[in-house]
Structure 1
Amino acid sequence: MRGPRPPAGAPAGRLRAVDLLAVGTLGLRARKTRALLSALGIAIGIAAIVAVLGVTRSSQAALLEQIDRLGTNLLTVANGRDLGGAEALLPVGATRMLRRVDGVTGVAPTTQLTDKNVYRNDHVPEGMTGGLAVRACDTTLLATLDGRVRQGRFLDAATAGYPVVVLGHQAAQTLGISRVDASTRVWIGGHWYTVSGILDPLVLAPEIDRSALVGFPVAARLLGYDGHPSRLYVRARQERVEAVAGLLAPTTNPVHAEQVQVVRPSDALTTRVAVAASSATLFLGLGAIALLVGGIGIGNIMVISVLERRGEIGLRRALGATRRHVAGQFLTESLVLAAIGGAGGVAIGCLFTLVLARTRGWTVLVPPEGLWGGFGVAVVVGALAGLYPALRAARMPPTEALRTT
């Protein structure tokens, strides 16, 4: 038995958008807690997607800015291994030869004194090194690395020949030295060394951050330096970086170029950008799963809502509502739920990105596609989730619906 039909030739019923919105949100207003929990599932998925896009874009922008600031024209030349696996020595004249390479603007040699350690005082047991190193260098190191002295002063022609040391940023922290004055000293190789300066962090040369730096003359006189460098920092003209990189190994050691390692430190930062992008894909997948679960939750709630409101559906059909009106009512309810969840998710994702970016000192960047795309995806998920319940409600015969009340 079917419900009453409008007379032949009667105009089809109309339902204004405002009325449809009021009718469609009736169930949400009557069951606020359930509606909030349903929207929360969508919000979590959208928040995860927006946050991942925002955090990834902000961190990438910070890394790229750091790369641009530090420059990509710094190269390092280090000693490798010989055929027997032993550590190879770089030639004594390597620095002089590298400075002749076309395109090289600066070369700063350093040597790690592997049998020497730095201690806060002469009472610290020898094995407690804190992972710090002692390196000999010349006065060109700071300019070649484009570094800065946080406190005090760097080595110069006068101090390089005396027991004077400059501490890398991390070395100073490990040793518990936060200020530089005439009484600040460290113990190296059986001698006291006066601390003349503390460096700012060097992102492209983390090994310097963990080192105590002394001049070559005093290293030769007191610490057994034999004249062989172990690592050289090379600055090249930007347009000649690739060409210079190819010449460094054979120029450093023409006989055994294979025993020389040439590295471009900025490549590590560039790799971090790629790693961050690949990691974002994983988290986007997790966000999509959360969004799918939220959509299934909305679909489940809408199916239950149709079953609970059979009497309302039957009454509306009996009063002249068409199937299209009933379907529109429940589809609107699903869309409103998803829109609330989507808007909440975008807001939560932006807030998370803002807090994390400010904490890390990044520029806050949330891509527009994350904002509008996240909200749009939420609405689409809501439409798909509510489509079946809406069609089910529309196909329900009014007489059958009224009998269930």
Structure 2
Amino acid sequence: MSRRRASLAPARLAPRDVLHTGSAGMRSRPTRVVLSALGIALGIATMIAVIGISASSKQQLLDELDKLGTNMLVVTPGTDLLTGRKIPLAPDAAGRVARIDGVEHVGATGTLPHTVRRSEKIPDTITGGITVQSASQDLPATLRATLRSGTWLNQATGRYPSVVLGDVAARRLGIASAGGQVYIDDQYFTVLGILDPLPLAPEIARSALVGQDVARERLGFDGRPTTVYERSADDRVAAVHDLIPRAVDPRTPRDVGVSDPSAGLRAKAATEGAFSSLLLGLGAVALLVGGVGVANTMIISVLERRYEIGLRRSIGATRGQIRGQFVTESLILSGLGGAAGIVLGALATGVYAVSGGMPWVIPLWAVGGGFAATLAIGTLAGLYPAVRASRLSPTLALHAA
């Protein structure tokens, strides 16, 4: 008796046979396969694109921070608590900051009460939002500024009517390269250079910068800086931040403001994925809808293939093998959709990154997690149809067919 039972034991299907039987229904209905996998593909594509675009934007900010540095501080006048007016910095404020241990570069600017225009024919009320400022010669080294065109002010050119424009100021004035002229306080100044964008000093981008000597002689500059920029060693930033107010104004250090312009970029990089959570939720909903579509497809497949199920059961297929067949079919269907979605999401991220001049970054955990999610969805979507198929009576299935 034991030998007879052993001989009647069901044969175990090899993995190749499981894949073959699981993909049989898909091969006979390719259009349905494409439409069912499309829902999964769109959900995964949305999730990959959202994560990839967020990661690319964050990497761009981090690269920008690496280039600009996080060791720059900006010193500005404080505000009088009684009158609400700005308290001017001392004329030698830049020199006082430079004497602090750990400070490497110091540059200063002073705001002037003038406007800059293309010619005297333009009313002085049309300022274009451009500020005229005096600038020290070491300001570019402090800001790590580069020039898109021309040269910076030096000891010679800083004595004469010459000006360097920020990139925004140049654009608003309609000046594309060095060599032109602008009108400041009833006299023409020659444009020596145009700066590249400065994310850590947007006020410089909207400024027309002149030398301190010509600012004193022709524009009424009193020598008091309105902003002092400093670069210190990375390990001394916190200490320098605490020392600057006492160095600039030992009697009332509270009247000196010190800020870190890179903090905004760091905060933006840290919170880059905040809004992405909502979009990820939408992608998850799309993925869930795709899973429901797969489940519906599998249920219809079971109904249409009752004869096949009954025939397989009548020739010895076990319930477990029937369940395995339909779960495998659901996994293959979801896996194809997931693979297509990863490719579509990566392409969408690439297009966005290239068009925006960003690095193309797609975290590997997003790819692996997205594909694992499709397999999980496929398993869940195929369980109920698979169990339903395995419970079909071979006699009833063949009779109904």
1:180 Cα deviation after fit? 1.9
Query: Which residue number in structure 2 is paired with residue 54 of structure 1?
Result: 52
> For the residues of structure 2 that align with 1:79 and 1:292, how far apart are their CA atoms?
56
Which deviates more from structure 2 when the two are superposed, residues 274-283 or residues 224-233? 274-283
Query: Which residue number in structure 2 is paired with residue 140 of structure 1?
Result: 138
SS at match of 1:12: coil
Query: Which residue number in structure 2 is paired with residue 3 of structure 1?
Result: none
Q: In the TM superposition, what are the counterparts of 1:366-405 in structure 2 within 5 Å? A: 366-405=362-401
- Residue type of the alignment partner of 2:365: E
Which string of whole-angstrom CA distances, capped at 9 and with x for unpartnered residues, describes residues 329-359 of structure 1? 2111100111101111111122222222223
> For the residues of structure 2 that align with 1:296 and 1:247, how far apart are their CA atoms?
63
- Residue type of the alignment partner of 2:387: L
Equivalent in 336, 347, 351 of residue 351 of structure 1: 347
Query: Which residue number in structure 1 is paired with residue 95 of structure 2?
Result: 96
> For the residues of structure 2 that align with 1:175 and 1:392, how far apart are their CA atoms?
74
Q: Tell whether 2:331 aligns with 1:332.
A: no
Query: Which residue number in structure 1 is paired with residue 207 of structure 2?
Result: 211
> For the residues of structure 2 that align with 1:149 and 1:322, how far apart are their CA atoms?
77
> For the residues of structure 2 that align with 1:291 and 1:252, how far apart are their CA atoms?
59
- Residue type of the alignment partner of 2:136: D
SS at match of 1:244: helix
1:35 Cα deviation after fit? 1.3
SS at match of 1:278: coil
Q: 1:399 to 1:7 in 2, by over 3 A?
A: farther
Q: Alignment length, in residue pairs?
A: 397
SS at match of 2:154: coil
Residue ranges of structure 2 left out of the alignment (5+ in a row) = none
Query: Which residue number in structure 1 is paired with residue 147 of structure 2?
Result: 149
> For the residues of structure 2 that align with 1:127 and 1:315, how far apart are their CA atoms?
91
1:62 Cα deviation after fit? 2.7
**Retained in 1: the 8 A contact 2:10–2:316?**
no
**Retained in 1: the 8 A contact 2:327–2:382?**
yes
> For the residues of structure 2 that align with 1:13 and 1:102, how far apart are their CA atoms?
82
1:323 Cα deviation after fit? 1.2
> For the residues of structure 1 that align with 2:283 and 2:6, how far apart are their CA atoms?
52
Q: In the TM superposition, what are the counterparts of 1:190-229 in structure 2 within 5 Å? A: 190-229=186-225
Q: In the TM superposition, what are the counterparts of 1:5-404 in structure 2 within 5 Å? A: 10-83=8-81, 84-113=83-112, 115-181=113-179, 184-404=180-400
Which deviates more from structure 2 when the two are superposed, residues 275-284 or residues 222-231? 275-284
> For the residues of structure 2 that align with 1:242 and 1:277, how far apart are their CA atoms?
28
> For the residues of structure 2 that align with 1:307 and 1:190, how far apart are their CA atoms?
89
**Retained in 1: the 8 A contact 2:10–2:317?**
no
**Retained in 2: the 8 A contact 1:138–1:160?**
no
SS at match of 2:273: helix
**Retained in 2: the 8 A contact 1:55–1:356?**
yes
Residue ranges of structure 1 left out of the alignment (5+ in a row) = 1-5
> For the residues of structure 1 that align with 2:236 and 2:6, how far apart are their CA atoms?
86
Which deviates more from structure 2 when the two are superposed, residues 394-403 or residues 188-197? 394-403
Which deviates more from structure 2 when the two are superposed, residues 140-149 or residues 312-321? 312-321
Which deviates more from structure 2 when the two are superposed, residues 379-388 or residues 75-84? 75-84
1:220 Cα deviation after fit? 2.4
* % same residue: 47
Q: 1:127 to 1:299 in 2, by over 3 A?
A: farther
**Retained in 2: the 8 A contact 1:38–1:301?**
yes
Which string of whole-angstrom CA distances, capped at 9 and with x for unpartnered residues, describes residues 70-124 of structure 1? 22211111123211322332222322221221111222111122x3221122222
Q: 1:400 to 1:125 in 2, by over 3 A?
A: farther
- Residue type of the alignment partner of 2:277: T
SS at match of 1:108: strand
1:52 Cα deviation after fit? 2.7
| Runs of 4+ with >6 A deviation | none
RMSD value, Cα: 2.1
Query: TM-score of the superposition, structure 1-length normalised?
Result: 0.92
1:7 Cα deviation after fit? 7.8
- Residue type of the alignment partner of 1:172: A
1:8 Cα deviation after fit? 8.5
- Residue type of the alignment partner of 2:204: I
**Retained in 1: the 8 A contact 2:245–2:254?**
yes
Which deviates more from structure 2 when the two are superposed, residues 218-227 or residues 65-74? 218-227
Q: 1:297 to 1:125 in 2, by over 3 A?
A: farther
Which string of whole-angstrom CA distances, capped at 9 and with x for unpartnered residues, describes residues 101-149 of structure 1? 1111222111122x32211222223333222211111211112212122
Which string of whole-angstrom CA distances, capped at 9 and with x for unpartnered residues, describes residues 43-88 of structure 1? 1122222223333333333322222222221111112321132233
**Retained in 1: the 8 A contact 2:58–2:272?**
yes
> For the residues of structure 1 that align with 2:162 and 2:109, how far apart are their CA atoms?
16
1:274 Cα deviation after fit? 0.6
1:244 Cα deviation after fit? 0.2
**Retained in 2: the 8 A contact 1:13–1:322?**
no
SS at match of 2:86: coil
